[in-house]
Amino acid sequence: MGNTTASERTRASLPPAGRVTDARSQRARMERMAVTPLGGGVYEVEGQSGNAYSVDLPGGRCTCPDHNFRGVRCKHIRRVAMEVNEGLVPPPGKRAVACRNCGEETFVDETAEGPHFCEECELDPGEAVVDRETGDLLVVVRTTGRRADEVEITDRDYTVAAYPNNEQYRPDDVVVEAMYPVPAGLGSDDLKPHHLRRYSFPRGRLARRGEATGHDDQSELADFEVAE
């Protein structure tokens, strides 16, 4: 984990921008450089010659001679700006992390605590989702950082992953807790037990509304309460 990015591993050039730019911008793009985010808006840029300079992107400063003696916006500053704009390195204030669910690199606030998810995988509290198995509508409580094959179902001898309808989903899917919405106008005396429980699903079993689920029938509730 940490700030691993594609260009950190090897010095590489960026693909051509497809428009005419000045000589410094061309060098910034074409020369083989490795950009490593250090946090706080500072990036280390290792150039073609092997020299490494430190770029403070928000401050518009670089430790190289071109910037310090000529006072120009050097190729290192330009290269960092290009990589930020093209999503290759995190912008100032963000850092690169792996999505807990799919491993995809995603940028999060530098101070944010995990688990982290990419936009595709994270379901937000209160979001309405559809159970792909039953077609039931549910409301997300939270996306947990725990795997389906690690979470035990209350009073059962198996995990969320081993639950019969869940076997076709990845056992290392993260668990999402969700509740059945209380129908409008239902008094507190009319609440059924399933209205008060949280249920645990492998992430893959829940679809955002609008995504095809292959089911539109209302079938029986799947009874797999989460351990509190």
Q: Which of 34, 80, 84, 118 binds Zn ion (CB under 5 A)?
A: 118
CA distance 162 to 151: 10
104 binds Zn ion (CB under 5 A): yes
211 binds Zn ion (CB under 5 A): no
Residue 92 or 135: which CB sits closer to Zn ion?
92
Q: Which of 14, 34, 88, 121 binds Zn ion (CB under 5 A)?
A: 121
Residue 212 Cβ, how far from Zn ion at the closest point, in Å?
A: 19
- Options 21-29, 59-67, 85-93, 213-221: segment touching Zn ion (CB under 5 A): 59-67
CA distances from 70 to 22, 32, 105, 227 (A): 17, 22, 37, 64
Beta strands in the chain, from DSSP E residues, in sequence order: 34-39, 42-46, 52-56, 61-62, 94-98, 105-109, 128-131, 137-147, 174-179, 199-202, 206-208
Structure tokens at 148: 């389906």
Whether 199 and 220 have beta carbons less than 8 Å apart is answered as no
- Options 16-24, 110-118, 163-171, 209-217: segment touching Zn ion (CB under 5 A): 110-118
String marking each residue 19-58 x if it binds Zn ion according to CB under 5 A: ----------------------------------x-----
78 binds Zn ion (CB under 5 A): no
The residue type of 39 is G
Whether 80 and 73 have beta carbons less than 8 Å apart is answered as no
205 binds Zn ion (CB under 5 A): no
- Using DSSP's 3-state secondary structure scheme, residue 142 falls into strand
Show contacts with Zn ion in window 83-102 (CB under 5 A): 99, 101-102
Could you give the strand order of the β-sheet that contains 137-147, starting from the edge strand earlier in sequence?
199-202, 174-179, 137-147, 128-131, 206-208
Residue 54 Cβ, how far from Zn ion at the closest point, in Å?
A: 9
132 binds Zn ion (CB under 5 A): no
Residue 119 Cβ, how far from Zn ion at the closest point, in Å?
A: 8
Question: Rule CB under 5 A: which residues touch Zn ion?
Answer: 53, 62, 64, 67, 74, 76, 99, 101-102, 104, 118, 121
